[in-house]
Amino acid sequence: MRLNSYVLQCHAASAGGKTSLKKHSVFSAMYLKEIGRYFSSYLWVLNTGLGVVLLCVVSLALCVISPEMLGKYTGIEDVDSFLGQFAPLIIAAMLSISCPAASAISLEGKNLWILQSVPLSNKTFLKSKIALTLTIHSIGYMLSVAVFLIRFQFNAIQALTLLVVPVCYSIFTAVQGTYINCRFPKFDWDNEMVVVKQSISVILSGAIGMICIAVPELLHWFLDVSFIKALWGMAAILIVLSVILYFKVCSKKII
């Protein structure tokens, strides 16, 4: 047990004939493991990182396309006003369809026994899955928010909405994906594709994400609710649900 703990928390590197030990906390070690595993699996990246990639591509394109040219190409008369309302939901939608957490637990597969043999708490294990999704989201979020704020003229409320709403969606996506995967894990797989694209947890998590994106639009179109108010209301609900699901997921026994 001591040996397992030592291996989990320390990283040995040899340089010039000398060996140095770099210590990490248990969470940091698990988090780095998740990051390394994610980027080493092209299937996982391809199927769960598409939204973030699209967000980055669009953001970079907006760096070279002027608002006037964008309005001309899209047929939108007032681009600043349009994006002031819909940019937060656009970013949130791209983050919602990128959910590595919905398949992260299942991908442990037959190697789960290794984690069960080390002094690793269930809570730390699950927090590393949530942290993975939040890290991937942060790449697209920071780039897109910076570009939108620099390239377009938003008022204070619109800018604040752009900063806050996607974060709420990101947190909810990470937590609900982990929770659903805890409820419907699939460890008996032979091909990663089955887990990251066809498992019930991935399908269910994606459906929930789309519903959360659609609700503010439906409230705005059919009930004539202010779109900004609908976004803030949905964001508040998602944060409350995230807290509830977080405590529920931490109570689940996986390892």
The pTM (predicted TM-score) of the whole model is 0.87
Tokens of 197: 């694209």
Q: Which residues pair with 14 in a beta bridge?
A: 19
Partners of 10 in the β-ladder: 23
DSSP letter at 97? T
Enumerate the domain spans of the chain: 25-250
Strand pairing partners for 22? Answer: 11
Distance CA(200)–CA(194), nearest Å, equals: 10
Evaluate whether 31 touches 41 at the Cβ level (below 8 Å).
Answer: no
Residue 172's pLDDT is: 98
CB-based burial, 202-236: b 16+ in 10 Å, e otherwise: bebbbebbeebbebbeebbeeeeeebbebbbebbe
Distance CA 83, CA 87 (A): 5
Tell the residue number behind the tokens 């007032």, with chain if given: 78
pLDDT string in tens for the chain (255-residue length): 444 444 445 444 444 445 455 566 888 988 999 999 999 999 999 999 999 999 999 999 988 888 788 888 878 878 888 888 999 999 999 999 999 999 999 988 877 767 767 667 888 889 999 999 999 999 999 999 999 999 888 999 999 999 999 999 999 999 999 999 999 988 888 888 889 988 999 999 999 999 999 999 999 999 999 999 999 999 999 999 999 999 999 887 776
pLDDT of residue 6: 43
- In one-letter notation, the amino acid at residue 34 is E
Q: Quick one: pLDDT at residue 110?
A: 75
